[in-house]
């Protein structure tokens, strides 16, 4: 059992030993909790100056707090998920919204999805270029359209109809991501020259160019869970490539009967292995805990086939699990009984 799973029962026991009215009220309160991620990947401690690490941790704490305060005031898990993801989308640190990676054509194409565990309603957008907060548009697709997924120009036409402002694609530009595109292009060219094959060269490209995303899962006081994910996808992507993040069942899934999941990792694997839905199916049909189900899929299913990444998972009891098979995953949690936890590296 990981520290995230035990924290709930340990804190409950501690609270029950206290005799103050406040503690009793807290103990009888319905659980509410949130977990967020800012992407999994080759995140090495030596690449961070102390200042940079502090800034990342502060942004993760800010995002989890934004979602938590919605829940604390009695707000819906969907609103908490959106609020937390907006903070991460608006930060240049993460591969979503501002800070999204570059495509081969030096633009940004973003994907996002959201799902409501109460009724399995879902919304998603793929390949949007002019939407400042793609998660908000995914939510509008869920709430204001009869569809689940809209893509490209059509999604943006729908956004305009809904009164969402279209922004210039350059607002997502960041110097660091541009340098990363140039490095990825140089590596791909070298590999293509050697291997004489685009597909093989792409396979050879290091994981760091294929991962990075943001997401959130939350449980509200009404007992409903929700999940959302937003991404710029893969550096140097071509041909309108879409990853798992907007695919319900792969990158995002939520149903109150099992769990809510947001994924980050090499999208092609997460689509083929239907990762988010598979985790929830194991909980629902095999009676597994979210921790068991998450570990099985991330370590026993994905790892052997080379699928790198991680997930954040929550259930209606407020249990949280954060398995990943990469060097690190930006992550944070907070619940009504456990204080803010922020992690980046494996041993955090």
Q: Where are the alpha helices (DSSP H) in 196-318?
A: 198-204, 267-272, 275-286, 290-295, 303-305
- Min dist. Cβ of residue 37 to ligand ASP (A): 9
Give the end-to-end CA distance of the chain in Å, rounded to a whole number: 16
Determine contact, residues 255/285, Cβ cutoff 8 Å. no
Contact 5, 289 (CB under 8 A): yes
Closest approach, Cβ 211 to ligand ASP, in A, equals: 3
Give how far Cα 81 sits from Cα of 115, 145, 187, 344, Å: 10, 20, 36, 20
Q: Is 340 a catalytic residue?
A: no
Question: Which SS3 state, helix, strand or coil, does residue 109 take?
Answer: coil
Q: In the complex, what is the shortest distance from the CB of residue 212 to ligand ASP, in angstroms, rounded to a whole number? A: 5
Environment class of 62 (CB within 10 Å of its CB; exposed 0-12, middle 13-18, buried 19+): middle
Tokens read off for 298: 């991330």
Q: Residue 24 Cβ, how far from ligand ASP at the closest point, in Å?
A: 42
- 244 or 315: whose CB is closer to ligand ASP? 244
Residues 167 and 130: their CA atoms lie apart, in Å, by 5
- Two structure tokens written together for 79: 């609103």
Closest approach of Cβ 126 to ligand ASP, in Å? 10
Question: Which phi and psi angles does 281 have, rounded to 5°?
Answer: -65, -40
Which of 252, 256 has the CB closer to ligand ASP?
A: 252
Catalytic residue among 28, 49, 82, 213: 213
Between 118 and 129, whose beta carbon lies closer to ligand ASP? 129
Alpha helices, H only, the chain: 3-17, 21-28, 50-72, 77-89, 134-144, 152-161, 175-195, 198-204, 267-272, 275-286, 290-295, 303-305
User: Which residue, 39 or 134, is less far from ligand ASP as judged by CB?
Assistant: 39
User: Is the Cβ of residue 38 or residue 117 nearer to ligand ASP in the bound state?
Assistant: 38
Q: How many CA atoms lie within 13 A of 296 on its CB side?
A: 14
Instruction: Give contact residues for ligand ASP (rule: CB under 6 A).
Output: 39, 211-213, 231, 233-234, 243-245, 251, 264-265, 267, 270
CB of 31 to ligand ASP, least distance (A): 28
264/321 with CB nearer ligand ASP: 264
Q: What does DSSP assign to residue 226? A: E
Residue 344 host element (H or E): strand 341-345
Query: Among all residues, which ones are annotated catalytic?
Result: 213
């Amino acid at each position: 059992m990981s520290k995230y799973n035990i924290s709930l029962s340990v804190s409950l026991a501690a609270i029950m030993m206290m005799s103050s009215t406040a503690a009793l009220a807290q103990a009888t309160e319905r659980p509410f909790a949130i977990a967020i991620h800012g992407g999994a990947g080759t995140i090495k401690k030596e690449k961070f100056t102390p200042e940079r690490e502090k800034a990342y941790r502060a942004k993760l704490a800010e995002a989890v707090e934004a979602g938590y305060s919605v829940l604390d005031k009695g707000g819906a898990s969907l609103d908490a998920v959106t609020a937390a993801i907006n903070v991460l989308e608006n930060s240049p640190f993460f591969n979503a919204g501002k800070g999204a990676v570059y495509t081969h054509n030096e633009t940004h194409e973003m994907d996002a999805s959201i799902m409501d565990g109460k009724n399995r309603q879902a919304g998603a957008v793929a390949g949007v270029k002019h939407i400042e907060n793609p998660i908000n548009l995914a939510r509008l697709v869920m709430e204001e359209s009869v569809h689940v997924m809209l893509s490209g120009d059509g999604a943006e036409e729908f956004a305009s109809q809904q009164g969402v402002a279209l922004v210039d694609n350059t607002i997502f530009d960041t110097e660091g991501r541009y340098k990363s595109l140039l490095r990825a292009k140089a590596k791909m060219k070298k590999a293509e020259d050697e291997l004489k094959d685009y597909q093989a060269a792409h396979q050879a490209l290091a994981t760091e160019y294929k991962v990075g995303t943001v997401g959130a899962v939350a449980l509200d006081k009404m007992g409903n869970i929700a999940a959302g994910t937003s991404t710029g996808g893969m550096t140097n992507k071509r041909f309108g490539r879409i990853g798992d993040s907007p695919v319900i069942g792969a990158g995002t899934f939520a149903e109150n009967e099992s769990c809510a999941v947001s994924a980050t990792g090499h999208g092609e694997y997460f689509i083929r292995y239907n990762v988010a839905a598979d985790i929830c199916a194991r909980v629902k049909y095999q009676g597994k805990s979210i921790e068991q189900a998450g570990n099985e899929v991330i370590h026993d299913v994905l790892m052997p086939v080379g699928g790198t990444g991680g997930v954040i998972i929550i259930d209606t009891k407020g249990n949280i699990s954060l398995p990943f098979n990469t060097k690190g995953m930006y992550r944070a949690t907070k619940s009504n009984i456990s204080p803010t936890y922020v992690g980046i590296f494996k041993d955090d």
